[in-house]
Amino acid sequence: MIYRRFVGFPGLENRNPFSEIENMRRQVERLYQGFLSPYARPAAGVFPLVNLTESKEHYALRAELPGVRSEDLDIQATANTLTLAGERKIPEEKQSAKYHRRERESGRFSRVITLPGEINPDKVEASLVNGVLTVVVPKAEASKPRQITVR
C-alpha cells in the first residue's frame, strides 16, 4: 500500500528528477533573451549606436561618436558590409580625482553592419560633424529598383 501511494500516484511515475532545474534554466534563458531583444539598446560605452536608412539610390548610416576625431576612425566597405572601427580618447583625470559617477569610457571599438543589399564600395562617402558620423553608401546598379513598362 505504501508502495502504491508513492509509485502509483498519478504524475510521479514519469517525472524527471531534473525537471525543476530545467524549468529554472528556461526562466533564466527567457530573462537573458529579454536583455538581448532587438529593441534593447546596447550598454553605454564606446560601442557606437547607429541608424541605417535606405533610399532608392543609397543607404545612409549615422553613428553617434562623441569625442572621436576623424583621424581616429577606420571605415571599410565590402560587397554588402560596412565596418566602423576606431578609438575614443578621453583625457585622464588627476589621480586625486574621486569619481561619483563614471559612464563615459575610452577605448577601441569595432562594429560590422551588414547591409540589406549589394553596394558600390568605391563611391562611399563619410563625414563627421558634431560627433555624428554620416556614411553615404551608394547601392550597386544590380540592387537598384528598375521601372518596368508594361506593353
Domain boundaries in the chain? 2-35, 50-91+104-142
Least Cα distance to 91 among 70, 72, 105, 108 occurs for: 105
Its pTM surpasses 0.75: no
Q: Does 4 have pLDDT greater than 60?
A: no
Grid look-up 572621436 returns 68
| CATH for the 50-91+104-142 domain, from 3.30.930.10, 3.40.920.10, 2.40.30.10, 2.60.40.790 | 2.60.40.790
Q: What is the pLDDT of residue 94?
A: 82
Using one digit for the tens of pLDDT, what is the confidence trace for 85-121?
A: 998 888 888 888 888 887 777 888 888 999 988 898 8
Long-range contacts of 45-53 (CB under 8 A, 24+ apart): 45/105, 45/107, 46/88, 46/105, 46/106, 46/107, 46/108, 46/109, 47/109, 47/111, 48/84, 48/109, 48/111, 48/133, 50/84, 50/111, 50/113, 52/113, 52/115
SS3 label, residue 119 = strand
